[in-house]
Structure 1
Amino acid sequence: MKLRNDDDTYYRSYSNLLGAMIDFRQNGKLRLVHVNGLNNRQRERYNRARASQWESERSALQQQGRALVLKAESEHKTVIILMVALVAVLILAVAIWIIRHRRQRERENEERAEALQKMVDELKSAPSPQPTTEPAPAALRRAMLQQLGIIKMVAEAPTEQNRDMLRKISSIESDTGGELVNWNNVFELINTLYSGFYAKLHSTYGETLIPKEEQIIVLMMAGFSTKEISVITGQTTSTIYVRKSSIRKKLGVPGKEDIVAFLRERFGD
C-alpha cells in the first residue's frame, strides 16, 4: 500500500525518533543524523501548517473582498435606480404642471372668447336707439363693443393685412400704445357720462393705483363683467381677480362691499 507524502513524512518522523532511541539504548550514543532528521521533519510539518493557515486566511480575505465588491456594486445599482426614479418623478411632475398650465390657459382663452362672442352677439341683437335717448351706460357699452367687434374679426383671421388694418383703425384718432382700446377716449367718456368719475378717481388715488387698476375700476363702473374686462384689457380672469383684491386693499374697501358703490359714495355721486 502506497502512503501519501504527508503520511509518509509523519511516520518517518517517528521512525527516526525510534531509531535514535534504539541506538542510544544499544550503544549509549545518540546519532546526530537521527536528531537532525527528526528536527527537519518537525520543521517541515510546522511550515506546512503555517502555509495552510496562510492559505486559509488568504482565501477568507478573498471571499470577504468579493463580498464587499458585490455589496458595493449592489449599493451602486440601488443609488442609480433611486436617481433614475427621482428624475422620472421630476419629469412627470414637470409634464403634469405643463399640461395643467396649458389646459388652464386654453380654458381661460375659451372663456375670453365666449365673453367676446357674447358681447358681439349683444351688439348685433341690440336695437339702434337714438343718441339723445340712449342711456349713458348703454352708449359707453356700444362704443366699446364696436371696437371689440372689429378686434374679434381680426383675431378670427390674424393675417398680416388684417393686423395692419387694425393698427390703422386704432391710430385714426390717436396712438393706443399697443392697447386694444384708446383709454384716453374711454376716460373722457366716463367723465362725461358719470359726472367726472375718472377725474375724481385719478386725483384721489392716482398715486396709489396703477393704470391697470384704474382701467378695471372704470370698466366696472360701466357695468362690464370680469370676463368682459379680461377681454378688453388683454388679461386673464385670474389676473383680474387678483387686481380686484389689490384694489380693495389699497382703497380700504370692506370685503362684502361693492368697489364701485364704495367709490361713488366716497365721491358723493
Structure 2
Amino acid sequence: MNRYVSAITGYILLFFVLLSGACTAPSDRDLLDRAESCLRKNPDSTLLLLKQIRFPERLTGKELADYWYLHATGRRNTDRSYVTDSLLQVSIDYYAAVHDSARLRDCYRLEAQRQEWLKQFDRADAFYRRAIEVCPHDQQNHIPALYSKLILLYNDHINPKNYPLARQYAHKLLSITTDPEWRADTYYELAASYNFEGLHPDSAVYYTYKCLELVYQMPLQQRPFYLSNCANMIGLDAHEALRLSDEAIAINPERYLFSSTSTKGYIYLAMGKPDSALLCYQRAAEAYKKEVIRIKEDYPTAHNSLSTLYAATSYALSPKDIRTKEFIYNDSINTASFRQRLINSEHVQNQQVLLEKQYTLNLHQQQLKLLLTGILCAVILAGGILYLYIRNRRQRWVASEEKAEALEHLLNEARKNTAEEPAADGAFFRRILLKQLGLIRLLASSPTSANQELLRQIANPGEGTEKGNRLLTWEELYPIIDASYNGFYTKLTNRYGELLNEKEIQLCCLLCAGFTTKEINVVTGQSISTIYHRKIDIRRKMDLDETKGLADFIQSVYSA
C-alpha cells in the first residue's frame, strides 16, 4: 500500500511540475529588453514583442515607462501614428525622476511630434525646447536635429505668422553648428521660409546660393535633393534653375526625373516658352506613371502639380482652352491628409487591441477554470488516497488490537492450571498450539512492551510447565485432540474424512476446542473471510441446513 501511495503522489507532483512548466511565459522585463535590442534595425519586431504584453496597464515603475517609450518609438520608426499614446507622459515623469537624460530627451521629442500631429503647435514647441535643455553634454550632436524639427514645425504649416519663428530657430541652429550638412539644410529652410512668405525674394535667392555653396561640398549622391528643391525658388535666375534641375536628373534620374522635369516645365512657362513647358509636362507625366507603378501608390501633390502644369501650359497656348478641373493641393495639405489617414488607422488598431485584450481575458478565465478544476480533482484524488491509506492503517491497527486481545484470552485460558490442580485438557492443548504456530516469532517481530509481556507469558504460561518442549506439528496435535476431546479427530476422519480436506478438518478441531473465529484467525493466520468460507464449505458438504449451526454438528461428532 505504501508503494502505491508513493507512486500516486509522485505522479501528482510530476503533473503539477509539467503544468507549471507549460504555463511559464517570458517575463515582461525579458520582453522589454528584447524589444529594445531590435528597436533601431527592426522596429516591427519591437512592436510584435510589445504586443505579447497583453496588459501593459499592469506594469509599474521602469517597466511601464520603458513600455510606452518603446511603443511610441516603434510606431514612429515604422511611420505609424501614436497620437493616442497619452501615457507617454508616464515615461517622461519616470525618466525625469531617475535623471535619465537620454531617455527623457527622446520622450520629449516623441511627445512634441505627437502634439504636432494633434495640431497643438505651442505644446510641440515647448516639448522640443525641453528636449534641447535636457540633452546630455556627451550627446550634443542631437541638438541640431531638434532645432531642425522646430524649423520644420513652422515651415511645414502655411501660416504667415510662423515663418519668422522658423527663421529664428534657423539662425539659432547656424550659430551652434559647423557641420556642412546641417548648415546646408538650414540655409535651404531659410530660403524656403522667405520663398513661402513671398515678401523678400532677394533673401530667398541669397540663402539659396549659400545652400548651394555647401551642397557642392557634399558627396554626389546627396546633392539631387537640394539641387531639385533650390531650382523652385522664386527669384532665382531661370537659366540657373534649369541647370540645377538638369544636374539633379543627371545624378539620379530614377528618383528625380519626374520632379525636376515638372519644375523645368514651370520655369519654361515663366520664360514664356509654353511649347517647351508642354514637352516637359509630357515627359514628367510619363515618368510619374512609372513612379506610381514602382511604389504602387499615388502621390496627390505630384498628381496635382502635373494637372496645374498642364492647365497653365494649355492656357498659355490657348487662353480659351482650360480643360482641367483638378484641385490644386500643396505639400501641407497632403501631409495633413496623410497624417489623418495614419491617425484613423491607429484608432482601428486600438479597437483591435481592445478586442484582443477582451479575448485574452476570456481565455485566461477559461484557463483559470480548467486549472482550478484540475487542482480540485487532484485534491479529491489525494484526499481519496489519504482516506484509503488511513482507513487501511486503522483496520490494521484494529486487527492488531483484536489479535492482541485474542492472544491474551488464549493465554489466560492456558494459565488456568494452578499449583493445586493440574491443567485442563483444553488449556494444555491451547498452550501447545500457541507454541506450535510460532506466535512467539510473530510477537518478536514487533518488540513493544505489551508484546514483550505476551512473549514472556507464552514462553512460560504456568509455573509447573516444562521449558524444553519441542514445537509440535499438526500430526502431533491430532492425538492430543483425541485425548482431550473424546476421540474427536478420529471420529471426524472416520466418518467424514473423504468429504473434508485437511484445512477443513483442522478448522473443525479448533472449533471443537472452543476457539472463536477471531482466535482461529490469530493462531492459523487465515483471514476471517477465509474462515467463514471454509465454514460454508463444511456446511455444504455435510448437507447442513441454514438453520442448523456448525457448532451443533461439531457437538454431535464429539458426543458420538
TM-score of Structure 1 vs Structure 2, range by shorter chain: 0.5 to 0.7
Deviation at 1:261, TM superposition (A): 2.6
Deviation at 1:98, TM superposition (A): 1.4
Deviation at 1:143, TM superposition (A): 2.1
**Cα offsets for 1:181-236 (capped at 9, x unmatched):** 62222344445621421353331233xxxx44443222112221112211210234
Distance 1:140 1:268 in 2: 16
Distance 2:468 2:392 in 1: 32
- Tell me, yes or no, if the aligned pair for 1:191 and 1:198 is still in contact at 8 Å: no
Deviation at 1:55, TM superposition (A): 4.2
Secondary structure of 1:84's match?
Answer: helix
Ranges in structure 2 where 5+ consecutive residues have no aligned partner: 1-118, 121-156, 159-318, 447-454, 460-466
Summarize the Cα distance change of 1:237–1:50 in structure 2 as closer, same or farther, 3 Å threshold.
same
Distance 2:421 2:478 in 1: 23
User: What does 1:76-225 align with in structure 2 at a 5 Å threshold?
Assistant: 76-127=367-418, 139-148=425-434, 151=438, 155-158=442-445, 172=470, 182-190=473-481, 193-194=487-488, 195-206=490-501, 211-225=502-516
Distance 1:240 1:51 in 2: 91
Match of 2:161 in 1: none
- Tell me, yes or no, if the aligned pair for 1:219 and 1:229 is still in contact at 8 Å: yes
Summarize the Cα distance change of 1:221–1:55 in structure 2 as closer, same or farther, 3 Å threshold.
same
Distance 1:196 1:101 in 2: 42
Summarize the Cα distance change of 1:254–1:59 in structure 2 as closer, same or farther, 3 Å threshold.
farther
Match of 2:357 among 59, 62, 66: 66
Distance 1:170 1:101 in 2: 40
Deviation at 1:149, TM superposition (A): 5.8
Distance 1:86 1:250 in 2: 50
Deviation at 1:51, TM superposition (A): 5.9
**Cα offsets for 1:23-45 (capped at 9, x unmatched):** xxxx987562x52338x999999
Secondary structure of 1:257's match?
Answer: coil
Distance 1:69 1:88 in 2: 28
Distance 2:407 2:559 in 1: 33
Summarize the Cα distance change of 1:228–1:267 in structure 2 as closer, same or farther, 3 Å threshold.
closer
Which residue identity lines up with residue 428 of structure 2 in the other structure? R
Summarize the Cα distance change of 1:243–1:61 in structure 2 as closer, same or farther, 3 Å threshold.
farther
Summarize the Cα distance change of 1:64–1:190 in structure 2 as closer, same or farther, 3 Å threshold.
same
Summarize the Cα distance change of 1:243–1:75 in structure 2 as closer, same or farther, 3 Å threshold.
farther
Distance 2:332 2:322 in 1: 18
Deviation at 1:61, TM superposition (A): 2.7
Which residue identity lines up with residue 518 of structure 2 in the other structure? K
Summarize the Cα distance change of 1:103–1:63 in structure 2 as closer, same or farther, 3 Å threshold.
same
- Tell me, yes or no, if the aligned pair for 1:120 and 1:149 is still in contact at 8 Å: no
Secondary structure of 2:548's match?
Answer: coil
Match of 1:230 among 521, 534, 542: 521
**Cα offsets for 1:43-64 (capped at 9, x unmatched):** 9999888766654443333222
Distance 1:252 1:76 in 2: 66
Deviation at 1:91, TM superposition (A): 1.4
Secondary structure of 1:37's match?
Answer: coil
**Cα offsets for 1:135-180 (capped at 9, x unmatched):** xxx5255223234168555555459xx9xxx9xx99957xxxxxxx
**TM-score in terms of structure 1 length:** 0.61
Summarize the Cα distance change of 1:235–1:250 in structure 2 as closer, same or farther, 3 Å threshold.
same
**Cα offsets for 1:50-79 (capped at 9, x unmatched):** 766654443333222222222222222221
Which residue identity lines up with residue 201 of structure 1 in the other structure? Y
Percent same amino acid at aligned positions? 22
Secondary structure of 2:521's match?
Answer: helix
Distance 1:263 1:143 in 2: 18
Distance 1:219 1:253 in 2: 19
Which residue identity lines up with residue 359 of structure 2 in the other structure? L
Distance 1:129 1:201 in 2: 36
Summarize the Cα distance change of 1:60–1:256 in structure 2 as closer, same or farther, 3 Å threshold.
farther
Ranges in structure 1 where 5+ consecutive residues have no aligned partner: 10-26, 174-180
- Tell me, yes or no, if the aligned pair for 1:116 and 1:228 is still in contact at 8 Å: yes
Aligned length: 227
- Tell me, yes or no, if the aligned pair for 1:123 and 1:142 is still in contact at 8 Å: yes
Higher relative contact order (CA 8 A, sep 6+): 1
Summarize the Cα distance change of 1:157–1:76 in structure 2 as closer, same or farther, 3 Å threshold.
same
Which residue identity lines up with residue 498 of structure 2 in the other structure? S
Secondary structure of 1:203's match?
Answer: coil
Match of 2:366 among 75, 81, 85: 75
